[in-house]
């Protein structure tokens, strides 16, 4: 069976963002929370902000850190603001 070549003109406009986002989750699934956060932080689109929020939540839940909660609220607010 021959492999179809992708035509960039027919690719979804958010495909690159989604592929980049999945790389961040590859870090999470490899138990590398630090690299995942570094991967998500420079991006300000909603999907990467969601990934950053997941990192912050996991950091708080796994470490039971009380001081991380304000950071989680900040990431959540950034996500909500970017959706409007």
DSSP string covering the chain: -PPPPPPTTTS-TTHHHHHHHHHHHHHHHTT-HHHHHHHHTT--SHHHHHHHHHHHHHHHHHHT-STTHHHHHHHHHHHHHHH-
Give the predicted TM-score (pTM) of the model.
Answer: 0.63
pLDDT-derived band at 5, boundaries 50, 70, 90: low
* Mean pLDDT, range 6-22, rounded to an integer: 80
* Mean pLDDT, range 45-49, rounded to an integer: 90
Residue 2: pLDDT above 50? no
The pLDDT, as a whole number, for residue 1 is 46
The pair phi, psi for residue 69, each rounded to 5°, is -55, -45
d(CA 37, CA 28): 9
């Amino acid at each position: 069976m021959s492999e179809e070549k992708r035509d960039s003109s027919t690719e979804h406009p958010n495909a690159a963002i989604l592929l980049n986002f999945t790389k961040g989750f590859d870090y999470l699934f490899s138990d590398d929370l630090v690299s995942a956060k570094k991967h998500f932080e420079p991006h300000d689109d909603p999907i990467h902000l969601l990934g950053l929020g997941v990192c912050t939540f996991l950091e708080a839940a796994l470490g039971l850190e009380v001081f991380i909660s304000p950071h989680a609220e900040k990431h959540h607010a950034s996500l909500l603001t970017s959706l409007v």
